[in-house]
Chains A and B, each alone.
Chain A
Amino acid sequence: MSEAQIKNLEEMFEQRIANDEKIEPKDWMPEKYRKTHIRQISQHAHSEIIGMLPEGNWISRAPSLRRKVALLAKVQDEAGHGLYLYSACETLGISRDELYEQLHSGKAKYSSIFNYPTITWADIGAIGWLVDGAAIINQVPLCNTSYGPYARAMIRVCKEESFHQRQGYEIMMTLAKGTPEQKEMAQDALNRWWWPSMMMFGPTDDMSTHTEQSMKWKLKRKTNDELRQQFVDQTVPQADLLGLKMPDSDLKWNEEKGRYDFGEIDWDEFWQVVKGHGPCNKERMAARVNAWEEGEWVRDAAMEYAKKQEAKKLNKAV
């Protein structure tokens, strides 16, 4: 194909996106579009799978049968999200095994929030309320993103995430209304999860590299800072309702701007965790690699058995 032809295709492609048409797997797409989408969708899928670990840490110790069942179902939902996001990613011409390989080798990233430890039951409430709350703000705009399979997966993901968020908030509410010990547990979890949740929106706009291109392809509709502001404005009144105090002495309502002002994020900590040196980066990766390696003989057996069954069927047919 000549350069002029490619340029022409690219223009038509951008025009389709501008017209709000969906791009489907068999449509022509620029290589950069394909690569960017593989990167983002797989990062999202990996986050779901790694995200099972910190919450999974409390399934065996959940304080009541009702909470145990709800938590187990929630972590299972995350496995389901991983499954349909990996499938969406596979439509771009990469296999699930390759995607796992990228995760296990450290080449692919996942959301840094899951590198923090869950050390009390209240952390399960705080994750649902804050982490899922932040995730929803990040993800709702993706229901209208340009790549069809991703947009459709996100519609389902977002529905389930908002259910999880309500569940998390309800755990926090129960603790906040409980004994002084329970309330203290809730406050401690908020103190530890607030800033990492704020970091989920990524670097500030002036430091963010991908924004302009992502906006054009509708992988992004608002900037990191806009989304972060939305999260603060939405979450502070919820903390008030719980009777808990935000761990930010600079946080206050700005009457003039009609929004909350808040303190500075510790960007050194942010980069440290992104670069693999958070409290649990190594443990999370080790757990995934271990599950994958320990599972190899099981996957091999399933393949071998399927082959044998297929051969038997053929023999019968002959």
Chain B
Amino acid sequence: MENKDLVQYIYGIADNALILGQRLSELCGHGPNLETDIALTNISLDLFGQTRSYFQYAAQLLGEDKTEDDVAFLRTERQYKNVLLVEQPNTNFAYTIARQFLFDVFHLSLLENLQNSSDATLNAIAKKSIKEVSYHLRFSGDWVKRLGDGTEISKQKIQEAVNALWRYTDELFHLTEADKVAVEGRIGVDTSQLKDAYYEKVEELLQEATLTIPEEKYFQKGGKQGVHTEHMGYLLADMQYMQRAYPNMKW
């Protein structure tokens, strides 16, 4: 596999961690109580830690003195390959939890497969991240249950959030050109194979949370090709502000 293809494959995984980490970091100091605030920040920190491991590897593959920060901050919107789900805003706590849960189930199963990658670096990052992501899933799954089987209000809010975000789940299992090359080279994971188990697991927990499984027929896609929702531009303007306003400086 050529370096440029491998880098694209890495973006497809790492950009999810970066963008979701960024979204969660916006909540630091504004949580519903201190314990939840600390837990969400922990998840954000884990995701940024994973992002750095992937991007340091990508920077090394890119050569030309590229750094993790060039990769993180200096691409244009179309060059970010995260799925649409993770860029969705923190509308309220229910959206934050639903987004997290719908991503965590996928993320864990991706990593469980990526740890068998023939690429030693990706393999090692996956092994290290599995522990963290299992915890993320426990946290988000527990909260889906609490909100679903909590009060009338919380049930209504989490159901609304799950319904609204459901249309972004199908994209998790689409294969890009870079994904296909990586799968052929036994480096990447064929995510289309993870789909059935994903919905089974998600639906099982939603039922336990006394929630209704959405019957959405129409799904959204495009993030993996760099065609994002309107939220993404603002997220990047915020995240890239310093690097764009003060180029070529050390911080």
Contacts and interface: CB of A to CB of B under 8 A. Distances in A.
Interface in B116-174: 145-147, 149-151, 153-154, 157
Contacts of A295: 31-33, 36, 93
B32 A299 contact: yes
A190 interface: no
Nearest to A80: B38
Interface residues of A, number: 46
Dominant secondary structure of chain A at its interface with chain B? helix
Given A65-B68, A79-B38, A298-B93, A73 B45 contact: yes
Interface stretch (B3-11, B49-57, B193-201): B49-57
A297 B151 CA distance: 8
A195 B39 CA distance: 35
Contacts of B147: 298, 301, 305
B219 interface: no
Contacts of B44: 72
Given A121-B251, A178-B250, A291-B31, A297 B45 contact: no
B242 interface: yes
A52 B37 CA distance: 11
Interface stretch (B22-30, B81-89, B182-190): B22-30
Q: Which of A72, A178, A294 has the most CB of B within 10 A?
A: A72
B150 A300 contact: yes
A110 B164 CA distance: 40
Contact of B29 (A52, A62, A80, A171): A52
Nearest to B40: A76
B238 A60 contact: yes
Given A60-B25, A291-B30, A69 B151 contact: no
Chain B interface category by residue count: 35 or more
Contacts of B73: 64
Interface string B61-101: 00000001100110000000000000000001100000000
Contacts of A73: 45
A64 B251 contact: yes
Contacts of B246: 63, 179, 181-182
A44 interface: no
A65 B239 contact: no
B227 to A, nearest CB: 23
Nearest to B237: A61
Given A65-B69, A65-B72, A295-B32, A300 B154 contact: yes
A61 B250 contact: no
Contact of B153 (A86, A121, A179, A300): A300
Nearest to B37: A79
A61 B68 CA distance: 16
Contacts of B243: 63
A294 B94 CA distance: 11
A279 to B, nearest CB: 18
A316 B117 CA distance: 46
Contacts of A80: 38
A287 interface: yes
Contacts of B106: none
A49 B34 contact: yes
B32 to A, nearest CB: 3
Instruction: Among A53, A59, A86, find the residue whose CB has the most chain B CB atoms closer than 10 A.
Output: A59
A132 B101 CA distance: 37
B35 interface: yes
B42 interface: yes
Contact of A69 (B33, B52, B157): B52
A75 interface: yes
A246 interface: no
Contacts of A65: 48, 51-52, 55, 68-69, 72
A79 B41 contact: yes
Contacts of B241: 61
Between B29, B42, B68, the greatest number of chain A beta carbons within 10 A of the residue's beta carbon is seen for: B29
A100 to B, nearest CB: 10
Contact of B41 (A67, A72, A174, A178): A72
A59 B26 contact: yes
A101 interface: no
A160 B184 CA distance: 48
A75 B251 contact: no
Given A56-B29, A75-B29, A299-B32, 18 more contacts: A49-B29, A60-B22, A63-B251, A65-B68, A68-B48, A72-B45, A75-B28, A79-B34, A79-B38, A83-B38, A171-B251, A174-B251, A294-B92, A295-B31, A298-B33, A300-B150, A305-B145, A305-B150
28 contacts: A49-B34, A59-B26, A61-B239, A61-B241, A62-B242, A63-B243, A65-B55, A68-B25, A68-B48, A69-B48, A69-B49, A73-B45, A75-B29, A76-B38, A76-B42, A86-B34, A121-B242, A181-B249, A291-B31, A291-B32, A295-B93, A296-B32, A297-B151, A298-B32, A298-B93, A299-B33, A301-B146, A304-B154
